[in-house]
Homo-oligomer: A and B are copies of this chain.
């Protein structure tokens, strides 16, 4: 387990997460529930929009990144919770058929002052498509347990 405890996160280190293909059906299903704007739910209306075709909700890009992060790192880690996320930027549209991959770089790892059993890690996150274009960036915060003595 290369990233199990707080102590395993060293600033500057990068982790390649897996990849995931995005289908039109998934884009429409997500948006129908959480972001029913017509350029996310209706291929015909999307064609007439400034996007020129169906695009995924930015929140779905966040969800896809999160899934890659859970499968690729958090699932086997001591992750406790996340206080939040900073500066999400949706840089390029995500379209049906895109294959997205995740990458994360450790920015900072800081022991908690109030709770000595844990520490806060800041990560810079990138989601890229099959052409190598970065479609989303964000900075996540997450609490991990410290390694038992």
Please give the residue numbers on chain A whose beta carbons come within 8 Å of chain B beta carbons, in ascending order: 30, 33-37, 50-51, 57-59, 62-64, 66-67, 70-71, 74-75, 79-90
Does A70 lie within 8 Å of B33, measured CB to CB? Answer: no
Does B75 lie within 8 Å of A66, measured CB to CB? Answer: no
Does B89 lie within 8 Å of A87, measured CB to CB? Answer: no
Q: Secondary structure of the A side of the interface?
A: mixed
Does B66 lie within 8 Å of A59, measured CB to CB? Answer: yes
Does B63 lie within 8 Å of A82, measured CB to CB? Answer: no
Selected A-B contacts with CB under 8 Å, 27 pairs: A33-B63, A33-B67, A34-B64, A34-B66, A34-B67, A35-B66, A35-B67, A35-B70, A36-B67, A36-B75, A37-B70, A50-B80, A50-B81, A51-B81, A58-B82, A58-B84, A58-B85, A59-B62, A59-B63, A59-B66, A62-B62, A81-B90, A82-B90, A85-B88, A86-B87, A86-B88, A88-B88
